[in-house]
Amino acid sequence: MLPEIFADLCALRLAGPAFAECLLQLLLLPAQTVKIYNGDDPHPTPYVRMLLLFAYIRTLGTSPAIVDHATTLENDWRALYGASTGLPALDAYAQDLRTVFEALMDTPLPPLQNHAMRDLLPFEDADDARIRNAVNYFRSGQNRPRMLPLRHVPSAARLAVAADDHAGTLTPAQGKAIHGRVVEFVADTAPSGLRGGGVMDHEQFIASFASRMNI
């Protein structure tokens, strides 16, 4: 389960709160699946897994938008599945969420030359603001963002779809329009060259990552 928890936290640092919103919808499963521990599942129990993400979102920045987003998602999750799992031993894990993400994200590690993952995957209020400022463009085609890293494009697109859904304006035509703007934006801003080609094992990936980060 630890690798999956680590991957979730890295995804939040790469994509922002939109990742948790997307994962929440993927985990909309029957309560007996969401709230029961399964030792054969490499993923954390969904109920506690989402609580971990909501708690970690609140550490990504200090802007009201980030905090409010985490609160809204958590309220929606608890409204769907209740205030707890009903299993005291499982609910107890919620008391250790900060310990988990501080150990994984904030602890300097010798293999990373005493950097923490938080240092290597920066996400700040300014990153969140750029994502949210791009939402209107993907919804309407107006006010094209001047600077939006490609890794943040799916986040802005996801929030654009959610905004139209909440407004009651998400139609097949609007979904197609958002998709078209996303594809066009990526095509216009992506650097040329091959990305993601070939086969790379875990050791090669780590070595490549360390090289790019100059560690």
> Average pLDDT by consecutive 10-residue portion of the chain (215 residues)?
90 96 94 89 92 96 96 96 90 91 93 91 95 97 93 96 96 97 93 63 62 59
- CA 163, 164, 166 angle in degrees (round to 5)? 65
pLDDT, position 195: 58
pLDDT, position 202: 58
Find, among 11, 34, 21, the residue nearest to 70 by Cα. 21
Find, among 113, 117, 101, the residue nearest to 14 by Cα. 117
pLDDT, position 37: 86
Sign of CA dihedral 77, 125, 142, 182: negative
Burial classification of residue 135, based on how many CB atoms lie within 10 Å of its CB (0-12 exposed, 13-18 middle, 19 or more buried)? buried
DSSP 4-34: HHHHHHHHHHHH-THHHHHHHHHT---HHHH
pLDDT, position 1: 76
pLDDT, position 39: 82
DSSP 8-class letter at 168? T
Find, among 53, 40, 35, the residue nearest to 89 by Cα. 35
Tokens of 212: 């790019």
d(CA 87, CA 190): 48
CB atoms within 10 A of CB 43: 14
Q: Which residues contact 27 (CB under 8 A, 6 or more apart)?
A: 34, 46, 49, 50
Owner of token pair 């070595």: 207
d(CA 70, CA 53): 8
